[in-house]
Amino acid sequence: MNLAIWIVAGGIIGWMSFSFLRFNVARGLGVSIIIGVAGGILGGDVLGPLLASAVNPGDFNPILLFMAFATAAGCLIISNMIYHRFGV
């Protein structure tokens, strides 16, 4: 269940960054959502349990949701910076 939450959280951040902040405009909405989903999974499923001390596996935790949002946003910012720097 948590994996679905991380995917949705990353997808929402990817869509918002494309629509409102105009990140990854040259690459398109799909790429922004994919980068957001990857960041959401990385933050909520991998980094969250490592950095949050009182997390029970399988339980929903708002700290992990915040971590998923923050990591997805960070991945989108970094990918936008790399695109503008190298044009890749």
* pLDDT in the model for residue 55: 67
* pLDDT in the model for residue 88: 63
Calpha distance 55→1 (Å, rounded): 15
Low-confidence ranges of the chain (pLDDT < 50): none
- How far CA 39 is from CA of 24, 47, in Å, comes to 15, 10
Calpha distance 63→9 (Å, rounded): 13
Give pairs for 28-31: CB < 8 Å, separation 24+. none
Of 42, 73, 44, the C-alpha closest to 58 is 44
